[in-house]
Structures are given as C-alpha cells and as structure tokens.
Amino acid sequence: MTDDDFAPAAVSHENVMTVADDRFAPGNVAIVTGAASGIGRATAVALAANGLTVLATDLDEDGLADAVERADEIGVDGSVETHEADLTNDDDIEGIVDAAAELGDVRFVANIAGLQHIDPIDEFPVEKFDLMHQVMLRAPFLLAKHAMPHIRESGSEAAGTSGTGAIGNMASIHGHTATEDKAAYISAKFGLRGLTQAIAAEGDGTLRAFSVSTGYVKTPLVTEQIPDTAAERGISEQEVVEDVMLGDAKVKEMMEPVEVANLFVLGFSEHARHLDGGDLTWDGGHLYTY
C-alpha cells in the first residue's frame, strides 16, 4: 500500500456536479469551513464552480491558497475568497460571518472542519475531547447562530427568494454508529446531527439544514489515522483499510472528496427543497446492510 492509493482526484469540471439554480450566483455567499484540505477544499471549489462566492476559511493559510489556485486553474463562474480563522476562537467565528457578509448575501454555510484522535476512553486525553467538540460541534452552533439572521434577511420578497438558504453539516457514518477508540469524534458527530435537526426546527422550511454522512474519504484526516489505528489494534495498515474501514461496506472504495462536495451542491440547491433536518447517508452500504 502506497500513498498513491489514497491520492484524491483533482476537482475538475468533469467531476463537479453543476446545478441550474438562480441562487447559485456571485451575489450569494457560501461559508465553507475546513476549506484548506480534503472535503472542505473540494466543496469550496465545487460551490464556486456552481457560481457562488465562497468564503473559504481554515487555520491553514497555505491550504486555503491551494483552494484558490484550483478554482483559478479550472476557471469557476463564482470565486473563492479566503479568510484565516481558528474555530476554537469565538471572535474568529463571528469574524467569519462578518467577512462573508461583506462579500454579498450570506445564504449557505458548510460546516466541514474537523479532526480525529484515536484512543480508548480510559486513555483519551480530555483536552483532545474538548478540542474536537469545540471544532466539530460548538463552532457549527456558533456559526449557525451568527449566520441565521443573515440568511433570514437575504434575498427579495419580489423575487420570492427572501430568507432562503441552508446550513450543511459534515457528519459521518460515525454520527450513526460507533466503533472503538473514537469517543470524541463519535459523540461530536451524533451531536452535530442533533444540531442539524435543531436548526431545521427553527428554520421555517426556507432556511433548511441537512447533514452529510459518508464512510471513508481520501483525505489526510483518514490517511493519517491509519498508522495509529494499526498500532492500536495490532494489525497491518492494509488490514486497517480493507477490514476496519471498508470491511462493513459493500462498496469497497474510499470516496473522493469531490464526490462529497457534490452532496453539498445538491443539499444547497433548490432540488433539495424537501431536505430539512435529514441526512445524506452516502455510506456504500456500511450502515444498512450486513
């Protein structure tokens, strides 16, 4: 097994889903967290390819620059604007929404930033637990808190577009089921699905919320946990991928980041008008077969 086995496909016009939607226009802004890497970066580029202005945010400035570079390389109808921020800092979180509002009508938020730590509960560092819950649950709550008033004020009554928008939250199959050594991740993702439903409950059907749950996607978050999982379980790295990660799935392939990005495109589009509080479970058969 080499690193090439995990190399993701570059985002291109061929693999990005494009949707005809009047709200996918440069005057409308989508905030994307975790946009410096993996799923977040692909989502930032895919939404810009659909014509939106994207406020791409992350801790990692260089990674954000890569997102802009990719958007420029493929030539998007919208744009990717970058904003460095730390999702553990409340002022930074408010600053993300303020910066997005400077760019246009804030309509969409994709909460994608995340991190993983592998340890059994009795050895799990409590500061790691807190950090993971801050980034993957508290920050999405705060971003929703600051962004929802903007979404409600967006659009025009005459065009029938007032107050329409959506918040999409990146959950996981581990927001549905549990495995060993991931207590912080699993509890944050279950919580994030609950938050999604809470946003939908307050969104009046025009401001929608949805979550996205996938199995394993070709990103650094996954490839970097393979050695730890192997050590933890006393098995080879190959066995981690084939038996642990994809063992319970029917589709024996990791997903591409752009395939996940396309779920955010779908979820934000008017084709998903009835997706409200629900989960896009793209799990390759992991959860519903045995």
Binding positions for ligand NAD, rule: CB under 6 A = 34, 36-40, 58-60, 63, 86-88, 112-115, 135-136, 170, 172, 214, 216-217, 219-222
Nearer to ligand NAD (CB atom), residue 105 or residue 259: 259
Q: Measured between alpha carbons, how far apart are the two ends of the chain, in Å?
A: 27
Phi-psi category of 54—alpha, beta or left, where left has phi over 0 and alpha has psi -120 to 50?
Answer: beta
Looking at the chain, how many residues does it have? 290
Nearer to ligand NAD (CB atom), residue 60 or residue 239: 60
Compute the least distance from the CB of residue 222 to ligand NAD, in Å.
Answer: 4
Give 66: exposed, middle or buried? Use CB within 10 Å, 0-12, 13-18, 19+. middle
Compute the least distance from the CB of residue 27 to ligand NAD, in Å.
Answer: 26
CA distance 176 to 31: 25
Nearer to ligand NAD (CB atom), residue 105 or residue 184: 184
CA distance 59 to 43: 17
User: 102, 49, 100: which is closest to 72 by C-alpha?
Assistant: 49
Compute the least distance from the CB of residue 95 to ligand NAD, in Å.
Answer: 12
User: Within 13 Å, how many C-alpha atoms sit on residue 76's CB side?
Assistant: 31
Compute the least distance from the CB of residue 4 to ligand NAD, in Å.
Answer: 17
Compute the least distance from the CB of residue 57 to ligand NAD, in Å.
Answer: 7
Compute the least distance from the CB of residue 159 to ligand NAD, in Å.
Answer: 33
Nearer to ligand NAD (CB atom), residue 23 or residue 83: 83
Nearer to ligand NAD (CB atom), residue 39 or residue 195: 39
CA distance 169 to 152: 18
| Strand stretches in 7-117, DSSP E | 28-33, 53-58, 79-84, 105-111
Which of helix, strand or coil describes residue 198?
A: helix
Amino acid at position 63, single letter: G
Nearer to ligand NAD (CB atom), residue 52 or residue 132: 132
Compute the least distance from the CB of residue 114 to ligand NAD, in Å.
Answer: 2
Q: CB-based contacts of 68: which residues, under 8 Å, 6+ apart?
A: 56, 80, 82
β-bridge partners, 211: 169, 279
Nearer to ligand NAD (CB atom), residue 23 or residue 241: 241
